[in-house]
Amino acid sequence: MKQKIFIAGALLGALSLPFAAYAEALHSQSAKSPNDGDVSRWLTPMELLIVTPTRMSQPLDKAIADTTVLTQEDIRKSGAPDLPTLLRSVAGVDVIQSGGLGKVSSIFMRGTNSSHVLVLLDGVRINSATTGTTAIEHIMLDSIERIEVVRGNVSSLYGSEAVGGVIQLFTKRGHGAPAFNASAGLGSHGTKRLAAGFSGSVDATSFSINVGKVKTDGVSAINTQIAPTANPDKDGYDNTILDAQVTHAINANHQLSASLFSTRGDSQYDNAYNLATTDLNNTKAAIDKWSLSSDDQLSAMWHSKLNWARGTDDSKDYLNGANNGHIKTANKQLGWQNEFKFTDAQRFDLVVERLVQTVDSDTSYTQNTRNVNSILGGYVGEYGTQQVQLNLRQDRYSDFGTANTGLLGYGLAFSDNWRATGSLSSAFKAPTFNDMYAPASWGGNPNLHPERSNNREIGLKYSSEGQQVGLVYFDNRIHDLIAYQFPLTVNVGQAQINGTELNYSGAFGNTNIKANATMQNPRDTATGNTLLRRAKRLANLMVTKPFGAWEAGGEWQYSGVRQDVDINTFAPVTLPAYQLFNLNARYQVEKNLSVSARIDNLFNKDYVQVHGYNTLGRTLFVGLNYQQ
């Protein structure tokens, strides 16, 4: 019995690292701004501390992996209504939606599949175990404090799905004196938004609670001129979100925390294959996350983080009000992470994790649970102007076996302003429950192997007096791709995705500029065909400038030609390139009150992201914001 208790304790909580390290980083940054929760506005981009690229806190300018950070200030300035809209501004990230706000969204990072991007919420998996993707369309930004986007293979840190990269979302934390905030707004297509929050710290306890509501009438998801059998009515969306967290410091070396996140989305949609044009389709989806964690400084060199967490994805489909399918998947996570700091420049990480994935559905899966036991070792070292990162990880699945991954990274600051980076890494994506255990009529194949990837990249960065430029070349080769070939889902085909990313951020006086461009070639190596729905060219330009009590900004987005399939015949089609212009502004009425506005698709561009599906024309949203 004692042995079982010891083993259980040893397995508890590695997933707390991203939260705990972030909390530690935020605490150290708060010294520069003790009365302002958004400490990032007091720091230059290079001074920001990040955790996702190594699972240990480090300055952004020391990161070897190609990383973008979106702070609370960036989120506020963007005026973006939801996570998909915001992510489109990030280099190498292409997000497409099937019909507007709240509709199914797919992330293509560096040209990889949408199931090749791992999305974490405070370090917790919230993806579906049946599709392998995360329903990011149901995540609004009222609860998000910070986002870290790491591009490239990082399965050696986080396991399955991290082939194209990792997007980690951090929910809001309590800082400073307790304060209340609220916002409300109205927009095009009957859009209404309400949000409120209360957060702060009292003595050794910090807390935060936020609630939000979004509702829109929307537009018809499918273009009935292309697919005339679809219902031509408007397809609305209704979302409710809640998040809360509390952290208590027992003393200087020990703290406990608990967090909760819940979002509920009711999305109407169109089906081009319904029997009647009057058919009504909608999906009620829920993403939930809770976690309990302990963060303990056990000695001067040993930092232990423990966590117990669960993330769920629940989807119920309805046709004309009647149940049309239900799937709920859960990721139950236990872990223990130990960071050993030999010196300020030499750190080692040892992590053990246990993941239990389950499926509850009215579809008869041949197996509805599996276990994953994982061990990770990581090293980050600095040798003067040089940095080294090494990660090795093994994931043992109860169904298909073992996946081993690794990463070797190197950085060299060869002058005060210039830094070069390079890395070699491997990654994998485990077959989903749909792939392996779906009914025979769906092609389920229990003999599948994981998809595997090898990535190499080199980068060059320049930084001087508030100006940062980054250039990265990447080459990602994926084999054993999983695809359906009647009558089974099988491992077949290979893909190669190579390209270049260019990032710039800087200020000219009080004018701030961010720009990025991605040139990539995502292709099937056997046929040479471009992978579906992936553009070879992506670009973004954002400019913001204050004018007294006003702050105004503009955004230009470009997406190149992409390949798709006809919604009716499934024949290959080519979707044209498009460019969009967006504007946003904010007026500070008084210290605690501001008015904001955002116009998307300023010139009412008619464009297509998915063949047969509508996109929104020009939209306007105006909001009132109060911050105590």
For the chain, how far is it from start to end, CA to CA, in angstroms?
A: 53
- Give the CA distances from residue 502 to residues 64, 491, 515, 608, 627, in Å, rounded to whole numbers and listed in that order: 16, 34, 8, 25, 36
Q: How many CA atoms lie within 13 A of 85 on its CB side?
A: 26
What's the pLDDT at 46? 52
Looking at per-residue pLDDT, the higher value among 186 and 1 belongs to 186
Spell out the domains of the chain, with CATH numbers in brackets.
Answer: 2-627 (2.40.170.20)
* Distance separating alpha carbons of residues 155 and 158, to the nearest angstrom: 5
617 confidence band (pLDDT: 50, 70, 90): very high
For 89, other C-beta atoms within 10 Å of its C-beta total 21
Least Cα distance to 466 among 56, 43, 161, 75 occurs for 43
Taken in order 262, 268, 272, 273, the sign of the CA dihedral is positive
Q: CB–CB of 100/191 below 8 Å?
A: no
User: What is the Cα–Cα distance from 130 to 112, expressed in whole angstroms?
Assistant: 19
Q: Residue 204: what pLDDT? A: 96
CB-CB contact of 161 with 433 (8 Å) = no
Cβ atoms within 10 Å of 462's Cβ, excluding its own? 14
Torsion angles phi and psi, residue 546, rounded to 5: -85, 145
Lowest mean pLDDT among 26-30, 424-428, 602-606: 26-30
| 338-390: pLDDT as tens digits | 999 999 899 999 999 999 999 999 999 999 999 999 999 999 999 999 999 99
CB contact at 8 A, 255 and 13: no
d(CA 524, CA 571): 17
Distance (Å, rounded) from C-alpha 146 to C-alpha 161?
A: 21
Structure tokens of 318? 């309805």
CA 607 to chain centre: 25
Q: Which two tokens stand for residue 605?
A: 């561009």
**Average of pLDDT values for 252-264?**
97
Half-sphere exposure for 447 (CA within 13 Å, toward CB)? 3
Question: What is the mean predicted confidence (pLDDT) over 113-128?
Answer: 97
Mean pLDDT in residue range 154-177? 96
Q: Kindly report, residue by residue over 474-518, the tens digit of the pLDDT.
A: 999 999 999 999 999 999 989 999 999 999 999 999 999 999 999
Cα 243 from Cα 197, distance rounded (Å): 9
What digits encode the pLDDT tens for the residues 36-73? 444 444 344 556 888 999 999 999 999 999 999 999 99
